[in-house]
Amino acid sequence: MTFLDVTIELLIACGYTLGIFGITLVFSIPLGLIFSFLSRSKIKVVRIIMRVLIWIIRGTPLMLQIIVVFYVPGLVFSMPMRNRMLAVSIAFVINYAAYFCEIFRGGIESISVGQYEACQVLGLTKAQTFFKVILPQVIKRIVPPMSNEIITLVKDTSLANIIGIGEIILTAKEIVSVHAIIWPLFYTAVFYLIMCGILTIVFRKIEKKLDYYKG
């Protein structure tokens, strides 16, 4: 198998990798924000349940969560998960929502109480206070940790191969086993480095855009 053939196969596999990455980002960021509100809820029961849930999600391996989402419905409820991509997407979204939740919560709680009080004195509603005053500051503060998690997400997509999703690593493994050549497995690093490099550049530009705010 030629270098070009391997490259084409891995580029096709990138479709699954980028699909998992995109779906996870689109759904886990807003879900993480919802989780952060629930984890700070004034209702004690809701707050405790949410924090226990986040503790479980963050305290167990993502690979195990993928296996649970894919196999447990069939084993426990006799409703097998037939769509592997859906199972992986659910596991990834919930997992990353838990991590984003803690980042959002930390960013929100880093804003001083005085700013909330000042907004109240100025007659701003809670929604206006959050979206016009608090959120811009929170976004600036959470960009570095968010960028780390998002770059980690690129590499974590490789875990999807545990249930047979044909992402980059699984495709490379199949090439290695069929053609008895080892180098395609190492070649996958190039694809991950390119994707992470692009994200690094994007986040540096975002951080520069936010430099206007020095608070």
Query: Residue 77 to residues 5, 57, 204: CA-CA distances in angstroms?
Result: 43, 21, 46
Q: Model confidence over 51-108: pLDDT tens digits?
A: 999 999 999 999 999 999 999 999 998 888 989 999 999 999 999 999 999 999 999 8
Side chain identity at residue 85, one-letter code: M
In the chain, where are the structural domains located?
A: 3-212
Quote the pLDDT of residue 138: 87
CA dihedral 77, 83, 86, 87 (to 10 degrees): 50
155, 62 contact by CB (below 8 A):
no
Quote the pLDDT of residue 131: 84
Side chain identity at residue 148, one-letter code: N
20, 167 contact by CB (below 8 A):
yes
Between 124 and 22, the higher pLDDT residue:
22
What is the enclosing helix (H) or strand (E) of 27? Answer: helix 3-39
Quote the pLDDT of residue 134: 85
Quote the pLDDT of residue 208: 87
* Rounded Cα distance, 98 and 104, in Å: 10
Q: Which long-range contacts (CB under 8 A, 24 or more apart) does 166-171 make?
A: 166/13, 166/16, 167/13, 167/16, 167/17, 167/20, 168/10, 168/13, 168/14, 168/16, 168/17, 168/192, 170/13, 171/9, 171/10, 171/12, 171/13
What is the enclosing helix (H) or strand (E) of 64? Answer: helix 62-77
136, 213 contact by CB (below 8 A):
yes
Quote the pLDDT of residue 4: 93
Residue 212 has pLDDT above 70, yes or no: no
Mean pLDDT of 11-23: 96
Tokens (6 digits) for 129 = 């206070």
Residue 214 has pLDDT above 60, yes or no: no
Question: SS3 of 113, please?
Answer: helix
Q: Model confidence over 156-209: pLDDT tens digits?
A: 999 999 999 999 999 999 999 999 999 999 999 999 999 999 999 999 999 888
Residue 215 has pLDDT above 70, yes or no: no
Is residue 133 very low, low, confident or very high in pLDDT (cuts 50, 70, 90)?
A: confident
Q: Model confidence over 35-49: pLDDT tens digits?
A: 999 998 999 999 999
CATH assignment, 3-212: 1.10.3720.10
Quote the pLDDT of residue 190: 96
% of the chain beyond a pLDDT of 70: 98
